[in-house]
Structures are given as C-alpha cells and as structure tokens.
Amino acid sequence: MAALDILTYPDERLKTTCDAVDQFDAALREFIEHLQETCSGGPGAVGIAAPQVGDLRRICIVDATRAKRPVDNHGPLVLINPEITAWDGFAVGREGCLSVPDYTGKVIRAERIELKAQDPFGKSLRFTMHGFEARIAQHEVDHLDGILFLDRLVSRHADLQLRKK
C-alpha cells in the first residue's frame, strides 16, 4: 500500500464537514489500507482522519497502541461514521496533528466518551473510551466536522507552542 499526501493547515478542505459513508465496498477498504499506511508512517501519529488526505468522508483511525507509554485502549480502530453519543469529565492535554506539523497546543477534552461507529463492512460498533484513547477519538471526530485542534485551544497566545524536534 502507498502512503497518501497529508494536507496541512490552512488548506480549506480541513475546514469542511465530511459526508457519511454509505458504500461499504472493496474500494472503501482499499482506501482504509492506504489511510492506515499513512498513519503508521506519521511521526508519533496515533490517529488520522480521511479529510487530512483530501477525502471528505467520515472515516478515521484511532490507534492508542502507538502511544509513547502504554494506555488502556481497544487496539487499532477503523471508525466509519463515528458519533460521540455521551461524554463526561474534562481534562486539559497537549495535542499535535499531522496537518499542523510544527505546533502543539493545550486543548480541553472530555475524559470519558461513548462512541458509536461502523466498521469497514458496515457492522455497528460501540465503545466506551477514557483517557488518551478518548482524546484521540475526539480529535479525529473533530476533523470529520471541519474542526482542528487550533480551534479548540484554551489560549492561542499561551497554549500554542512550536513542536519540539
């Protein structure tokens, strides 16, 4: 499989609300393989969403197994048409993004979420996520709604930093 080119801010496609997937076919699964390859090739990447490679469908990958230290997780997940149905608690954490490669920032996210989605074959999925995995899922679902972590910074002045190389 080939890695795809990642769009970077301020590309307008990153600000677009994505369309629901209604065709669960071989072409979808082939695209997902390319998306997974792209995510695994990203430095420190723990997730990616289809609009980051110019595909405006509601598809994302959440992979907390790639975290720098072990965290509770459901393994690598491919989420089609994900929807956060409940959330609880709040925590501030530093986030980065493949589409904003030079910066990180502090963002407030829910500590625990409930999420429903479909797998690449259209089967319904449900997850309760907490901690870092919940943060990744919220970040990726935001991409599907045209929202970047930059839009959620507590303070652009105080909380946006150049990424440490």
Residue 140 annotated as catalytic? yes
- Residue 31: which residues within 8 A CB-CB, separation 6 or more? 50, 55, 59
Burial tier of 55 (Cβ tally within 10 Å: 0-12, 13-18, 19+): middle
The torsion angle over the Cα atoms of residues 138, 140, 144 and 147, rounded to 10 degrees, is 70
Q: How many residues belong to the chain? A: 165
Q: Considering the candidates 12, 95, 111, 140, report the single residue annotated as catalytic.
A: 140
Q: Compute the distance between CA of residue 95 and CA of residue 47 in angstroms, rounded to an integer.
A: 12
Distance CA 96, CA 139 (A): 10
- Bridge partners, 133 (sequence order): none
* SS (HEC) of 35-52: HHHHHHHCCCCCEEEHHH
- What is the C-alpha separation between 139 and 60, in angstroms, rounded? 10
Active site residues: 140
